[in-house]
Amino acid sequence: MSKKNTVSIERRDDFGRNSSKINEEKQMHKTPKLRFNKFTEFWKFTNLEDAYIKGRIGWKNLTRDEYTKEGPYFISGKDINDGKIMWDTCEHITIERYEESPEIKLQNNDIILTQRGTLGNSAFIENLTKKATINANMILLRANKEIYPLYLYYIIKSDYFKKFIHKITSVGCISSLFQKDLKKFEFPYPSYEEQKEISYFLSEIDIKIDLMEQKNKKIKYDVKNYLLSNLFVENKEEDILSWDEKDLDNISSISTGNCDLKDNIEDGKYPFFVRSEKVERIDSYAYDGEAILIPGDGRVGEIFHYINGKFNYHQRVYKISDFKDVIGKYVYYYLQQYFLRHVHKYSVKATVDSLRLPIIKEMKIRYPSIKKQEKIVNILSCVDKKIELSNKQISLMKNYKKGLLQKMFI
């Protein structure tokens, strides 16, 4: 799919066309500013009326009890993440159920998108080697002969389609995307060859983003997890008695905040820690110093924040601060490694819905000398900096792609 291209920005103020030709004026208005040098033809407009659009009509009495461990993949909206199908999360159905709806058997170059929930969440089907179909909350879209499939996928990912979704859902609080509405979606398209050039160019960026994300995951899940698993274990050559163990309550102060999510201010002066990974903002602070913040419900045992400065925090977020005999950031990393397994001891379920103060207080913390704590913290901080840098680079690349989608289609 990789192909080298050169792109230039051309500004078109006057095409010399007859202003009475409404369709040509519309095309002129919609011709993008960013374009490959070798293409000069006017763009045209079309809609999805002639495209192959299918969805599962009802469930034909299909129930969850009929799901199987093997067999054709049965894809739903939850299985789509950032344009990719997470095959490991897909359900399976029997071959008999799969054959009941031949109109939605997936093929390579198909596009699938959600018609309920997160409307328009889409994925492009490629390298498909096994039988797969979609559930009742999905729509299958197959391009006609004038539209290059990957080009249509990028159109679906562009602001053109987002604006279309917003327009049809803003009337009467519609929460579903119907096939009859989708057929009305109008978008610009150039020659087939230019569609391919655009698609190749954008796919190269996607490949680069994928490689960056794979590298980031390797650092995050392989390197850091390896270090977390080994740095908190006593060295065999070291006197084991040099490590101490105390309840978290005995080496820190633990409390919850007094604010609610409604108190957040978009451009507030201080960080505001709530029950998610996202840090909000607020104009008042409740504490100034080194602290660890963990949510009391939601993704318990998975989210940890560290800060040294002024901040505020939610009434269901626990602040761990005022450390004694330990470095705050050492505890921060220690909790990342051991806290989840600790809270699981208090729950019979696979997940923990709510976290109570006694559970946190009783968390056992093993720690060596301050000197060794500093060494551990320095190693893990270095890894975190690499992860943070990688995240920024990925974000910049995604924003670059978003800008291209706007300029190449609008």
Q: Which pLDDT score is estimated for 89?
A: 93
Could you give the CA distance from residue 190 to residue 402 in angstroms, rounded to a whole number? 20
Structure tokens that stand for 319 in this block:
């602040």
CA terminus-to-terminus distance, the chain? 24
Q: What is the DSSP string of 313-325?
A: EBTTEEEEES-SS
Q: Which pLDDT score is estimated for 83?
A: 87
Structure tokens that stand for 297 in this block:
């419900």
pLDDT tens digits, one per residue of 313-371: 999 999 999 999 999 999 999 999 999 889 888 765 656 678 889 999 999 999 999 99
> Of 6-20, 138-152, 302-316, 341-355, which range is least confident?
6-20
Considering only residues 3 and 145, tell me which one the structure prediction assigns the higher pLDDT.
145
pLDDT at 128 over 50: yes
pLDDT tens digits, one per residue of 256-291: 999 999 999 989 999 999 999 999 999 999 999 999
Structure tokens that stand for 124 in this block:
């492009």
Which of 4-18, 71-85, 236-250 reaches the highest mean pLDDT?
71-85
Could you give the CA distance from residue 33 to residue 10 in angstroms, rounded to a whole number? 5
Considering only residues 328 and 238, tell me which one the structure prediction assigns the higher pLDDT.
328
Q: Which pLDDT score is estimated for 129?
A: 92
Q: Which pLDDT score is estimated for 12?
A: 41
Could you give the CA distance from residue 290 to residue 343 in angstroms, rounded to a whole number? 24
pLDDT tens digits, one per residue of 213-231: 999 989 888 898 888 888 8
pLDDT at 148 over 70: yes
- Cβ contact 250:365 at 8 Å: no
Secondary structure string (H, E, C) spanning 157-215:
HCHHHHHHHHHHHCCCCCCECCHHHHCCCEEEECCHHHHHHHHHHHHHHHHHHHHHHHH
Question: Which uninterrupted H or E stretch holds 72?
Answer: strand 68-75
Structure tokens that stand for 359 in this block:
């559970």
Determine how many CB atoms are found less than 10 A away from the CB of residue 368: 19
Q: Which pLDDT score is estimated for 252?
A: 97
Residue closest to 33 by CA, chosen among 53, 7, 58, 64: 7
Predicted TM-score (pTM) of the model is 0.70
Helices (H) and strands (E) in the chain, counts: 11, 21
